[in-house]
Structure 1
Amino acid sequence: MAHADSLAPQPITDIFTDDTCIDRRKCHRTVPMKVLALGVGRTGTASLRGALERLGYVDTYHMMSASVENPPDCLMWHDALTAKYDGVGEFGRKEWDQLLGNCQAVCDWPACAFAKELIEAYPHAKVILTTRDVDSWHSSVMKTVWWRVTDPEHRFVSNFSWAASMYYPMLQKFFDTFFKGDFPNKGKQVYLNHVEEVRSLVPPERLLEYKIGEGWGPLCEFLGEEIPDTPFPRGNDMQGFVERCQTRNRRQMMNAGLQAVVMGGSMIAAGLAVAAVCKRFFR
């Protein structure tokens, strides 16, 4: 069974988070895919998302689209990872249009794991490869997303939270496959191999190698857009990442706690009702 087939209804008690519950399998492409930003996460992808949205690219997809906006997306990403790395199931243009059909651009992980597949699915899209010094990048990931993968609190809450139960397994699957199950020791070489792979997949005129500190100029020239009169977006610093994740853990625990209280109250109410019926017929 595909992971997406296991989508459960969102509990009505999930009131401490703002997650949506859109089943992308019921969606289709509504706008053309124009930009594939295939650099790995922690290369300025959150800032790039903000920049592309400022330029008018509709619903630029980012890991946060799945992790904190619409968690059911994680199930489809898990299916995509399983199809690519385990050879189980299929994930082609139809599925990409379901998952990303409302988006004109995509960036960050887990999309970067599918550079070849996305380039083949959307051959007319322009490709951006965000890069940074590999040592600086590795250190950043160790303190942020790798910390999130190995966070015992996150693992614990995934046993109870509707959203975390979908996100945590997908995130773990991504690191087990794309980074070969050993990010601390293999991450740097995977990063370097990925950069070379993306370079080999598209002709130079369709590819922009880009460091986020270069600002609007190279990005707008490549995309054929006018430079906005606003500062280039900045976001998702290390400290903010950790604090946001810890806050989300707490809120998901509160959701799960409220659900337990409501379910417990329902069971008590049901027990009292049964007792009342028994008393009536067996007195």
Structure 2
Amino acid sequence: MGGNASVPTDPNRTLQLIGAGYSRTGTLSMAMALEKLLDGPVMHGGSQLLGREDEYVKLWTDVFDARHDRPRLLKLLKKATQGFVGITDAPGNIFIDELLELYPDAQVVAVTRDRARWWQSWEAVTKTAGAGFLNVFLAPVPGKRWYPKLVMQFLEQQEERHGPMTDKRMDEHNAYVKSVTPPDKFHMMELSEGWAPLCAMLHKPIPDEPFPRANDAEAVEGVNKDILKEAGGRWGVILAVTGALGYGALWVWRSGLLGRH
């Protein structure tokens, strides 16, 4: 998997574990671990929203738009998660209550880490993703063009639930997850604990290999570079075509003007 988006091939598979860790708590490492343990596709938010087709990414904007209409929200969430065996990262991690209604047998695991280090990492992401120019710059890029809107929808939803974003958000989020999860389904861990907690809750043997250690920050930086390169290329084509059409129109106009003399 790595930073690539997993795509389900069997719509009958269902979520077995809901990774409720807040963004920048090792969600990519968690997704890679779950793919290994559950032998199936895992919906890692960052990978999906920046790597899937336009229709699928837009579906998540529809999920956010329906957050105050529970029947429609559940219908759209079901569609967005169909065929996945696990889910991590935003936006799935903020719909724990709804996901549990859809998948009542799933286990839920929240993740904690040093608050100061988490906040430093999280602030950098929101500042970049919330940059206003991205709405225009990413407009010609299928799939990724929805990312700025998704970030704003996410922040709006979070403010509705918890209030203004502060360095306490990870703890507030974990408290929310615990409050909506049946006690026998709720688990809390740090990624430094490795395979043991996940294997225990999923009743799986511990793999004979190291626990995945993907660097979320490096993964995001790499994806950002690819996005900017792709968007820049598309804008180059757009400007070149626009310039050619403009020159052609000018040539026709001048030719017609000269033809009158």
* Fold shared, TM-score > 0.5 on shorter chain: yes
1:96 CA drift (Å) = 2.3
* Greater Cα shift, 122-131 or 162-171: 162-171
Q: How does 1:217-256 map to 2 (within 5 A)?
A: 217-256=196-235
Q: Does 1:43 align with 2:25?
A: yes
Counterpart of 1:201? 180
Kindly state the Cα deviation for residue 131 of structure 1 after the two structures are TM-superposed.
1.7
Describe the superposition over 1:22-75 as per-residue Cα deviations: whole angstroms up to 9, x where unpaired: 9x9xx9942122111112111111000010111234110011112223343232
Deviates more, 1:134-143 or 1:220-229: 134-143
Unaligned runs of 5+ in 2: 257-261
Q: Which residue in the other structure is 2:158 paired with? A: 178
CA distance in 2, matches of 1:239, 1:104: 26
Q: Say if 1:40 and 1:108, in contact at 8 Å, map to a contact too.
A: yes
CA distance in 2, matches of 1:102, 1:170: 22
Structure 1 position 171, deviation (Å): 1.7
Distance 1:114 1:237, change over 3 A: closer
For residues 53 and 139 of structure 2, the distance between their equivalents in structure 1, rounded to whole angstroms, comes to 18
Partner residue, 1:104: 85
Superposed counterparts of 1:17-96, under 5 Å: 29-63=11-45, 64-85=47-68, 87=69, 90-92=72-74, 94-96=75-77
CA distance, structure 1, for counterparts of residue 5 and residue 175 of structure 2: 36
1:162 aligns with 2:142: yes
Could you tell me which residue of structure 1 aligns to residue 98 of structure 2? 117
Paired residues in the alignment total: 249
Deviation at 1:180, TM superposition (A): 4.9
Query: Does the CA-based 8 Å contact 1:38-1:115 persist in structure 2?
Result: yes
Q: Which runs of 4+ in 1 moved over 6 A?
A: 268-271
Aligned mates of 1:160, 1:182 — CA distance in 2: 34
8 A contact 1:179–1:190 mirrored in 2: no
Q: Following TM superposition, by how much is the alpha carbon of 1:19 offset from its aligned partner in structure 2, in angstroms?
A: 9.1
Supply the distance in 2 between the matched residues of 1:221 and 1:110 (Cα, whole angstroms). 26
SS of 1:127's partner is strand
- Between stretches 209-218 and 63-72, larger displacement belongs to 63-72
Which residue of the partner structure matches residue 259 of structure 2? none
2:169 and 2:5 map into 1 onto residues whose CA distance is 32
| Residues 165, 270 of structure 1: alpha-carbon distance in 2 compared, 3 angstrom cutoff | same
SS of corresponding position for 1:209: strand
| CA distance in 2: counterparts of 1:187 and 1:156, whole angstroms | 28
- What residue is the counterpart of 1:138 in the other structure? 119
TM-score, structure 2 as length reference: 0.81
1:7 corresponds to which residue? none
RMSD: 3.4
When residues 268 and 97 of structure 1 are mapped into structure 2, their CA distance, relative to the original with a 3 A threshold, is same
Amino acid at match of 1:42: R
Q: Which runs of 5 or more residues in structure 1 are unaligned?
A: 1-17, 279-283
- The CA deviation at 1:79 is 1.4
Alignment correspondent of 1:126: 107
